[in-house]
Amino acid sequence: MKKIILRILIFIVVTVVYMFAESYMLLIKTVDLKDSDIPLPFDSKKIVFVSDIHHGPHFSKKRIGKLVNRINSLKPDIILLGGDYVENDAKYIKPCFEELQYLNAPLGVFGVLGNHDHSKDVSMVEEEMKKAGITLLKNKAEWVSVKDGGIKIGGVDDLYFGRKDIGPTVNDVQEEDFVILLSHNPDYAEKIKNNKIDIVLSGHTHGGQITLFGLWAPYIPSNYGQKYRSGMVETDYTKVYVSKGVGTNVFPLRFFTHPEITVINLIKE
């Protein structure tokens, strides 16, 4: 009986150690996004998408610096940020953006807010984003142009907080335009009832953070069960890519949900 108990304890300890270690196992996830709406000048352009840093007690400023270097080493044309930059305390806001200011992409760095950003000090987050040279797409959108072609990148505020307005993203586009929408929470995709948005980029779920060998998660902060756990999801009106994020929430543990940087290669069909 004692041997069985000892083996169980060893198994538990080894599992927890692995879960802690996995939270540092940052992977590069590559997605080839093929779409006939992509303008020819954007064919082969590279977007890097990162979400859910959660700078705080379990994700240090030094790790953000390493994350920035890793992102820049990928030579992105555009960098998109999915929100939840900080965790736990407003004191982490300024140090986070002191590192994120070094993100470099020739066509711009854009981001939206997450629920954790709102629950700390949203005004400070917005101010520090601006100082860091990050364009905040809070119910706003920007045309990004190369030569004679352009794509639209828009964003909505977090689903749990404030007002959400998709109008600035879709009002001046046609279905044949290529449009990206940033929404921290993927559940917002269920509110989209037009064919003008080609892809929604989201985070928030952390891939479930703790899963049954990557197949199922006991808890996902979504109203749609496992649907928006992670990866590419098809809806009736658009595609949604849900990042597993890079940080963690509550506990610095992951199980078969490696943190990720997402590289999206635009390919014109």
CA 216 to chain centre: 20
CATH superfamily of 2-268: Metallo-dependent phosphatases (3.60.21.10)
Q: How far is CA 88 from CA 29, 62, 232, 251, in A?
A: 27, 17, 29, 12
Higher pLDDT, 88 or 183: 183
111, 137 contact by CB (below 8 A): yes
Q: For the segment 195-248, what is each residue's pLDDT rounded down to a tens digit?
A: 999 999 999 999 999 999 999 999 999 999 999 999 999 999 999 999 999 999
Range 178-203 average pLDDT:
97
Average model confidence (pLDDT) across the chain: 96
Examine the pLDDT at 78 and tell me if it is beyond 90. yes
- Determine the pLDDT at residue 6: 85
Q: How many residues does the chain have?
A: 269
Examine the pLDDT at 1 and tell me if it is beyond 80. no
Q: What is the pTM of this model?
A: 0.96
Range 42-48 average pLDDT:
97
Lowest mean pLDDT among 67-76, 119-128, 179-188: 119-128
Domain boundaries, the chain: 2-268
DSSP string, the chain: -HHHHHHHHHHHHHHHHHHHHHTT--EEEEEEEEETTS-GGGTT-EEEEE----BBTTB-HHHHHHHHHHHHHT--SEEEE-S--B-S-GGGHHHHHHHHTT---TT-EEE---HHHHHHHHHHHHHHHHHTTPEE-SSEEEEEEETTEEEEEEE---TTSS----HHHHTT--TTS-EEEE-SSGGGGGG--SS--SEEEE-SSGGGSB-STTS--S--SSTTTTTTSSEEEE-SS-EEEE---SS-SSSS--BS---EEEEEEEEE-
Examine the pLDDT at 256 and tell me if it is beyond 80. yes
Lowest mean pLDDT among 160-164, 196-200, 251-255: 160-164
Examine the pLDDT at 88 and tell me if it is beyond 90. no
- Determine the pLDDT at residue 94: 97
- Determine the pLDDT at residue 266: 98
- Determine the pLDDT at residue 164: 93
Examine the pLDDT at 125 and tell me if it is beyond 80. yes
| Widest Cα–Cα separation across the chain | 74
- Determine the pLDDT at residue 97: 98
50, 246 contact by CB (below 8 A): yes
Q: Write out the two tokens for 4.
A: 């069985």
